[in-house]
Amino acid sequence: MTLEQFLLNFTIFHPLLGAAAVALLARDAKQSKNIGTVVSLVTLALTVFLAARLNATQFQLQFVTSVDWVSALGIRYAVGLDGTNAWLVVLSSLMTLVAVSTTRDDTKNLKGFYALIFALQTAMLGAFTALDLVLFFTFFELTLLPMYFLINFWGTGNARKTAAKFLIFTFAGSVFTLIGIAGLAITHRNVAGSLEFGLIELQSMVANGKLWVGSESQTVLFWLFALGFLVKAPCFPFHSWIGDTYEDSPKAGPILSSAMVKLGSYGLLRFCLPLFPEAVQSQAPILIGLATVSILYGAIAAIAQTDMRRLMGYSTLSHMGFVLLGIFSLSYVGMVGAAFQQLAHGVTTAILVVLVWHLLEQYGTAKLDAFGGLKAKMPIFSLLFFLGLLGNVGLPGTMGFVGEFTALMGAFESGARGTFGISVGFAAAAGAGVVLAAVYLLVMYQKVFYGPERLQEGPDWTDVRAASMVPVFGLIGLMFVGGLYSTVFTAPTEASTQAIRLMATSLPTQRPSLSNPDQKIDLEPTAQQGALVDTRTGTVITPGRLRGYVVAPVPTVAEVNP
């Protein structure tokens, strides 16, 4: 076992050690927080180290540990990293750090609070790295109860109902995913004689075109799979939990949720695209339509909100819509953009969540009409808020811009070429979402920070101390670094993302196979072999008109060495 393999496994379960450390060592709230912060810093450092050690030119999974768990049923404990999940692992550690370090000392039952946060982190790290469907699903479902109790025990308002709604919605989606998993394993048994849950093994069966031979259930199984992920993402029309969850959660809820929703988009990228290529191609117009509706519906609903927390919830729906748009554009730019937008949404949302919940904790309300004229009273706070807002709007130079722009780019590219029946109209409509985002965010800023002061009788309006806002400074710094040097974040994802795209769009025998260590994905746009083919029409897809507009290099044609 190499160092990286060991560290990957250690990192997944490290937060549980942290929970134990907090429970056993801490004597008061201050100590709990210090120990918790140190533990999550260590986890973050480990994940960054692992991401840095990743060989970015390789699309195959790295640092793989695979141990038989249920040998009779083909279930394994298998984890590994590649460009698709490396940054998400870092993101979930970062969000945990933010959640832990911004928790107030007077939170009731602090040890239990941290224990649940750390359990959630282990669940997320496990789900993001799992390479076995059953293992993935176990970790995926492990996120439910910690989040349920976080909302229920520490939430505000209608926390009980909200917590139940969150759990029931997610469970309702994922139970169909479980049927899909069972169905996929049975499909494998029908073809190869044994049950199989391993991603690498299943994908190589798909890659050589054997798995789906003679099976008519691909589309059904695809939708069963996708349902759980679309609820988690969230995607219209399965989104209605997100607004309530944001409104009634304690601060840590939305912060962690901004990493957790990526389990949805990640599940689509990791499992749905590589395993159900024909279904993905035929259903792409529907999915891209849902993504577009999510973007617009989320933005319009956000405009109508009177509570900043709900507004942030619908903003998440809208922003995650761009991720889905990018993924199902099935174009290289769009998918790299989607991978990036996952990070961008996490970072930019977390900034505003910390600030909005600061207002809530100080003044007991997050209603838009309860505030006004804060800019004069709290200059530092309003500056931070404004910077965070710019990232959410998607101003060039911030992470939000790169993610949304490239995702839209991808949708335009596919739309302009007409691949997979995707219409350019989707991209045009989704583009309006960017404008609407500016509307709801700037209106929020205007109501809260300008205009007459409404909360007359409130406590004194002292500005935040800069020292208490260290996590926000860090996130804002990251937001600009990511916006200006986006290739730092996109480069490691490109090989894997391109491979996933080719797995979903190539003809059966030309698909990259995760189990073949010698295959290389060529990212240079010069190669002509293995041209992209629309498998429905059989026509070779030529490089599109829109090439060259993008931040990352755009190989529309990739070479696949068999």
Residue owning tokens 């200006």? 484
**Euclidean distance between CA atoms 177 and 410, whole angstroms:** 28
**Euclidean distance between CA atoms 138 and 123, whole angstroms:** 8
- Binding pattern to other proteins, positions 30-69, x when CB under 8 A? --------------------------------------xx
And the tokens for 445?
């800023």
Residue type, 521: I
Q: How far apart are CB 228 and other proteins at their closest, in Å?
A: 11
The residue among 15 and 346 lying less far from other proteins, judged by its C-beta, is 15
Binding of other proteins at residue 153 (CB under 8 A)? Answer: yes
Q: How far apart are CB 183 and other proteins at their closest, in Å?
A: 5
Distances (CA, A) of 20 to 14, 117, 278: 10, 12, 46
**Euclidean distance between CA atoms 302 and 558, whole angstroms:** 40
The window from 42-50, 170-178, 360-368, 399-407 that contacts other proteins (CB under 8 A) reads: 170-178
Binding of other proteins at residue 152 (CB under 8 A)? Answer: yes
Among 5, 29, 48, 183, interactor with other proteins by CB under 8 A: 183
- Binding pattern to other proteins, positions 104-143, x when CB under 8 A? -------------------x----------x--xxx-xx-
Site for other proteins (CB under 8 A): how many residues?
37
The residue among 234 and 289 lying less far from other proteins, judged by its C-beta, is 234
Q: What's phi and psi for 166, nearest 5 deg?
A: -55, -50
Q: How far apart are CB 377 and other proteins at their closest, in Å?
A: 36
**Euclidean distance between CA atoms 536 and 291, whole angstroms:** 22
DSSP 3-state of 81: strand
Q: How far apart are CB 74 and other proteins at their closest, in Å?
A: 11
Binding of other proteins at residue 16 (CB under 8 A)? Answer: no
Where helices occur in 372-419 by DSSP H, the ranges are 374-377, 379-393, 399-417
Binding of other proteins at residue 73 (CB under 8 A)? Answer: yes
- Dihedral Cα 431, 307, 398, 117, nearest 10 deg: -120
And the tokens for 196?
């199989």
Binding of other proteins at residue 192 (CB under 8 A)? Answer: no
Q: How far apart are CB 215 and other proteins at their closest, in Å?
A: 12
Among 29, 48, 56, 179, interactor with other proteins by CB under 8 A: 179
Distances (CA, A) of 391 to 86, 346, 400: 22, 11, 5
Q: Are 440 and 315 in contact (CB under 8 A)?
A: yes
Q: What's phi and psi for 266, nearest 5 deg?
A: -65, -40
Binding of other proteins at residue 536 (CB under 8 A)? Answer: no
Partners of 77 in beta bridges? 67
Binding of other proteins at residue 90 (CB under 8 A)? Answer: no
Binding of other proteins at residue 70 (CB under 8 A)? Answer: yes
The window from 88-96, 152-160, 234-242, 447-455 that contacts other proteins (CB under 8 A) reads: 152-160
The residue among 179 and 432 lying less far from other proteins, judged by its C-beta, is 179
Binding of other proteins at residue 75 (CB under 8 A)? Answer: yes
Q: How far apart are CB 179 and other proteins at their closest, in Å?
A: 5
The residue among 260 and 350 lying less far from other proteins, judged by its C-beta, is 260
**Euclidean distance between CA atoms 135 and 197, whole angstroms:** 9
Among 160, 450, 485, 536, interactor with other proteins by CB under 8 A: 160
Q: Specify the DSSP element, H or E, that contains 282.
A: helix 277-304
The set of residues, in sequence order, having a beta carbon less than 8 Å from that of 98 and lying 6+ positions away, is: 255, 350, 354, 471, 475
The residue among 145 and 443 lying less far from other proteins, judged by its C-beta, is 145
Among 30, 189, 536, 545, interactor with other proteins by CB under 8 A: 189
Residue owning tokens 């469970």? 171
Q: How far apart are CB 211 and other proteins at their closest, in Å?
A: 15
The residue among 16 and 436 lying less far from other proteins, judged by its C-beta, is 16
Q: How far apart are CB 529 and other proteins at their closest, in Å?
A: 39
Q: How far apart are CB 21 and other proteins at their closest, in Å?
A: 19
Q: How far apart are CB 140 and other proteins at their closest, in Å?
A: 9
Q: Are 36 and 100 in contact (CB under 8 A)?
A: yes
**Euclidean distance between CA atoms 53 and 63, whole angstroms:** 10
Query: Largest Cα–Cα distance in the chain?
Result: 73
**Euclidean distance between CA atoms 518 and 204, whole angstroms:** 13
**Euclidean distance between CA atoms 380 and 473, whole angstroms:** 11
Interaction site with other proteins (CB under 8 A): 68-73, 75, 123, 134, 137-139, 141-142, 144-145, 148-149, 152-153, 160, 164, 167-168, 171-172, 175-176, 178-179, 181-183, 185-186, 189, 195
